[in-house]
Structure 1
Amino acid sequence: MTSRSLMILAAAGSAALLLGAFVFQAFGYAPCKLCIWQRWPHGLAIIAGVVAVFYPRALTAAVGGLAALTTAGVGVYHSGVELGWWQGPTSCSGGGSLVGLTGADMLSTDTLDKVVMCDEVAWAFAGLSMASWNAVASFALACVWAVAFAKALR
C-alpha cells in the first residue's frame, strides 16, 4: 500500500471509531468528560486523512499519528480512572470536593441527570470498556500512521 492509502485507511479507522461513539450515544450511552476528550483527536486524524488525499507527506502522517497516540493515551488514562488506578477529573469522578459550591449549587437538581461519571463503566465487551477499546484501536491506528510516515519519508 502507498503512504497515501495507509493515511486514508487510518483516518477511516478514526472515522469509524468516532461514528461508533455517536451510535452508542444515540442508543442512550451518554459520554462523560473523558469520552469527549477522546473524540477530538479522532477529528484531527480524520482531517489529516483528508489532507493526505491531496498532500500525502510525512508531516501529514506525523500529525495523524500524534492524534491517534493522543486519543489512545486519553483512553488509557480513562481506563485507569474506571479501574480505580488513579483519580480522574473531579468534575466527573467520585471523591470530588465541595469547595467553591454555594448552598444553592448543592441543593440544585438541575444538572443531576446531565452528569455522567468518568469512573463508571457504561458498557464493556470481553472485559474491556469503551475507553479501553478506543485505546487498543487507536494504538493500532497509530501503527498504521507510523508505517505511512516511514513510507512517506522514502
Structure 2
Amino acid sequence: MTAIQRSPALSSAVLVTLGMIVTVGTALGFEHLGGYIPCALCLMQREPYYYGIPVGVLAIISAAFPMPAWLPRLLLAVVAIMMLVGAGIGIYHAGVEWHFWEGPSSCATSAQGVSANVGDLLSDLDSKHGPSCMDAALRVLGLSFAGWNVLASLVLAALAIRGAIKAR
C-alpha cells in the first residue's frame, strides 16, 4: 500500500491541489490561448485558487512528512473554506450573467488591450474596458465559466472536507 493510499489527508490534499491547478490552468488557457478576455468577476473567481494552491501544497507536505496530525486537517479545512468562497463568488457571477441581480460597478473597468506606446497609456486607461460581467463569454452545456467554476469549487471543497474529516 502506498503512502497516498494509507493517508486520506495526503490523497485528498494531492487531489484537491491538482484539481485547483487544473481548474485555474484551464481558465488561464482559455484566456491566453483561446482569447477569452476575463471580466472583473472572472478575475476575482481565480483568487481562491491562487491562495488555495500554496495552502494545498503545504497540506501535502504536512500529510506526507511526520508533522502533527491536526496540521493537514487544518490546512484542508482552510482550502475547503477558500473553495466555498470561490463557489460563492461563482454563484454571484452566474446570477449577474442571468440578470438575477446587478453586478459591481467595477465590472467593466479592466484595462485589457492597453497600448504599449507610453504616450497613449493614460488615454488607454480611460478608454479601454474589459468585457461586461453580465455577458457570458461562452456557455458549455448551458453553463458559463462562472457556472462551471461553482461546480468545480464545490467538488474541490467536498474533497478537502472529506480529507480533513478522515485525516488521522
Q: TM-score range by the shorter chain?
A: 0.7 to 0.9
The amino acid across from 2:38 in the alignment is P
Which residue is 1:104 aligned to? Answer: none
More helix per residue: 1 or 2? 2
* Alpha-carbon distance in 2 for matches of 1:50, 1:142: 15
Which residue is 1:85 aligned to? Answer: 100
Q: How does 1:124-135 map to 2 (within 5 A)?
A: 124-135=139-150
Q: Structure 1: where are the runs of 5+ without partners?
A: 94-107
Point out 4+ residue stretches in structure 1 off by more than 2 angstroms.
Answer: 108-115
Q: How does 1:1-154 map to 2 (within 5 A)?
A: 1=5, 2-26=8-32, 27-56=34-63, 57-92=72-107, 111-152=126-167, 154=168
Q: Structure 2: where are the runs of 5+ without partners?
A: 64-71, 109-122
* Alpha-carbon distance in 1 for matches of 2:127, 2:153: 32
| CA-atom RMSD in angstroms | 1.6
The amino acid across from 2:155 in the alignment is A
Instruction: Summarize deviations over 1:45-101 as a string: whole Å, max 9, x none.
Output: 2112210122132111111101111111100000000000011101226xxxxxxxx
TM-score, structure 2 normalization: 0.77
